């Protein structure tokens, strides 16, 4: 049985252990012990930890099944939480779990981890037959999807996976997510005294203004978004500004549309610099690749059927954000991202309904059942 009381207790225990991005070590030690006590084989992916700069690596855990002919499947959740996420004091109120209002709750993504642990306990207690199950608990997801980016994929056999890291009720199935790139631009103008000889200066602020004014931004089309999110520069009102930093991003469900938008933003910057005599330095950083699974894919069908078996409304959706599922798909593990009922994530009002926490665990059990056919 999925035991609500035990699951809630485990969840509360987990969110009380701090695990900000890059400092997941204490939580990873707790989780590793838990998994070992449950009899799973554990590998700590230390190399990823070193590359990412975290105090632990990803945890890769395997639960051998008694039905070795079944395809192995992957379940994954991230260990890190966003800030403010230290000293979390979870409170149970009206059938839901909240923080005390001074931090996030950390249900993103520990609700998933607690549900996975409850499912493993359930499988063992009820001696349920299943194929091999692989679990990856990642680091640095919130900081840049780093754990799955640098995961040692030779540790994984599964070709099908379920990431549990989406808001929306259980039954929400993300089968499409965008590619995301960041633009870091620095515009170099020329300093001059604003009162004595301004005509000798080139105002990087004016150049930036012209460039940004010419950009198509925010909602570009139904698949594509773009934003300039940070601008900084200038020293004093009496100096023609010689340096401005402009940081922005673009995302799209389609690779070519992303490239088009990034090119457009770079062109606006380059043209303004050329027209006004400024110099430009830019850096483009890919955050994660896109993925798109057809609804006919086995992994999507399994997720849908499992939802329907529980009487949940299966909703196959596209997401505007990335997750570890982007990298798993990039590495040929067909992976959907599932809604687990976490709400108002990345805010101090974050909460999760206990019934959704329980349903997430039951949903995973149903998925394991669907794989058996």
Q: Which is nearer to Ca ion, 77 or 272 (CB)?
A: 77
Q: What share of the chain is helix, strand, coil (3-state, %, to 5)?
A: 35, 30, 35
24 binds Zn ion (CB under 5 A): no
Q: Which is nearer to Ca ion, 224 or 323 (CB)?
A: 323
Q: Which is nearer to Zn ion, 80 or 132 (CB)?
A: 80
What is the CB-side half-sphere exposure of residue 280 using CA atoms within 13 A?
A: 24
Contacting Zn ion (CB under 5 A), which of 10, 118, 165, 169? 165
Task: Give the shortest CB-141-to-Ca ion separation in angstroms.
Answer: 7
- Per the listing, tokens 């599922």 go with 325
Q: Which is nearer to Ca ion, 108 or 356 (CB)?
A: 108
Task: Give the shortest CB-81-to-Ca ion separation in angstroms.
Answer: 8
Do strands 179-188 and 218-221 pair parallel, antiparallel, or not at all (unpaired)?
Answer: unpaired
To the query of whether residue 221 is one of the catalytic residues in this protein, the response is: no
> If contact means CB under 5 to 8 A according to the sort of partner, which of Ca ion, Zn ion, none does residue 242 touch?
none
The count of chain residues that interact with Zn ion, using the rule CB under 5 A, is 3
Give the single-character DSSP code of 72.
Answer: P
Quick note: the x/- pattern for Ca ion over 88-127, rule CB under 5 A, is --------------------x-------------------
Task: Give the shortest CB-373-to-Ca ion separation in angstroms.
Answer: 33
Q: Which is nearer to Zn ion, 287 or 305 (CB)?
A: 287
The count of chain residues that interact with Ca ion, using the rule CB under 5 A, is 1
45, 109, 132, 141: the catalytic one is 141
Secondary structure (3-state) at 205: helix
Task: Say if CB 91 and CB 103 are below 8 A apart.
Answer: no
167 binds Zn ion (CB under 5 A): no
> If contact means CB under 5 to 8 A according to the sort of partner, which of Ca ion, Zn ion, none does residue 356 touch?
none
Angle formed by the axes of helices 25-37 and 4-15, nearest 10°: 150
b/e per residue 29-52 (b: at least 16 CB within 10 A)? ebbbebbeeeebeeebbeebbeeb
- Per the listing, tokens 């199935």 go with 173
108 binds Zn ion (CB under 5 A): yes
Q: Which is nearer to Ca ion, 24 or 108 (CB)?
A: 108
Task: Give the shortest CB-183-to-Ca ion separation in angstroms.
Answer: 22
For Ca ion, which residue has the nearest CB? 108
**Residue 9: CB partners within 8 Å, gap ≥ 6?**
none
Q: Which is nearer to Zn ion, 148 or 225 (CB)?
A: 148
> If contact means CB under 5 to 8 A according to the sort of partner, which of Zn ion, Ca ion, none does residue 249 touch?
none
Cα–Cα distances (Å) from 13 to 35, 41, 99, 267, 359, in that order, read: 15, 23, 13, 51, 19
Pinpoint the alpha helices (H) of 131-179: 141-144, 146-149
Angle formed by the axes of helices 4-15 and 354-372, nearest 10°: 110
10, 80, 132, 181: the catalytic one is 80
Instruction: Measure the CA–CA gap between 116 and 303, rounded to whole angstroms.
Output: 16
To the query of whether residue 80 is one of the catalytic residues in this protein, the response is: yes
- Per the listing, tokens 């982007």 go with 326
Contacting Zn ion (CB under 5 A), which of 24, 109, 167, 350? 109
DSSP-assigned beta bridge partners for residue 282: 185
- Per the listing, tokens 């399994």 go with 302
**Residue 111: CB partners within 8 Å, gap ≥ 6?**
11, 164, 340, 341, 342, 352, 356, 357, 360
Task: Give the shortest CB-271-to-Zn ion separation in angstroms.
Answer: 38
Task: Give the shortest CB-53-to-Ca ion separation in angstroms.
Answer: 19
Task: Give the shortest CB-280-to-Ca ion separation in angstroms.
Answer: 33
- Residues of this chain that interact with Zn ion (CB under 5 A) are 108-109, 165
Indicate which residues carry an active-site annotation. Answer: 80, 141
The binding site for Ca ion (CB under 5 A) comprises 108
């Amino acid at each position: 049985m999925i035991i609500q009381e035990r699951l809630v207790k485990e969840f509360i225990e987990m969110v009380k252990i701090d695990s900000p991005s890059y400092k997941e070590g204490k939580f990873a030690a707790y989780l590793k012990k838990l998994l070992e006590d449950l009899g799973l084989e554990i590998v700590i992916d230390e190399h990823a930890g070193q590359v990412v700069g975290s105090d632990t690596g990803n945890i890769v855990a395997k639960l051998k099944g008694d039905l070795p002919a079944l395809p192995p499947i992957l379940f994954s959740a991230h260990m890190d939480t966003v800030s403010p996420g230290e000293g979390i004091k979870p409170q149970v109120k009206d059938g839901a779990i909240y923080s005390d209002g001074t931090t996030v709750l950390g249900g993103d993504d520990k609700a998933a981890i607690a549900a996975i642990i409850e499912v493993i306990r359930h499988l063992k207690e009820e001696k349920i037959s299943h194929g091999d199950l692989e679990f990856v608990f990642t680091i640095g997801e919130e900081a840049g999807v780093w754990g799955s980016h640098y995961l040692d994929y030779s540790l994984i056999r599964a070709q099908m996976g379920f990431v549990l890291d989406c808001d929306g009720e259980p039954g929400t199935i993300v089968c499409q997510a965008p590619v995301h790139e960041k633009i870091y631009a620095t515009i170099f103008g020329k300093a001059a005294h604003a009162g004595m000889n301004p005509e000798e200066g080139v105002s990087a602020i004016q150049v930036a203004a012209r460039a940004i004014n010419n950009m198509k931004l925010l909602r570009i089309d139904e698949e594509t978004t773009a934003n300039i999110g940070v601008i900084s520069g200038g020293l004093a009102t009496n100096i023609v500004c010689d340096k401005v930093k402009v940081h922005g991003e673009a995302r799209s469900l389609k690779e070519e549309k992303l490239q088009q938008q990034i090119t457009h933003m770079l062109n606006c910057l380059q043209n303004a610099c050329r027209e006004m005599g400024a110099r430009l330095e830019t850096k483009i950083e890919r955050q994660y690749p896109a993925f798109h699974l057809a609804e006919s894919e086995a992994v999507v069908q399994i997720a849908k059927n499992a939802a329907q078996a529980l009487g949940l409304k299966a909703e196959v959706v596209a997401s505007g954000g990335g997750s570890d599922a982007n990298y798993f798909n990039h590495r040929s593990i067909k992976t959907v991202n599932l809604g687990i009922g976490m709400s108002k994530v990345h805010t101090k009002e974050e909460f999760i309904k206990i019934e959704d926490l329980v349903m997430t665990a039951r949903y995973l059990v149903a998925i394991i059942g669907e794989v058996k056919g």
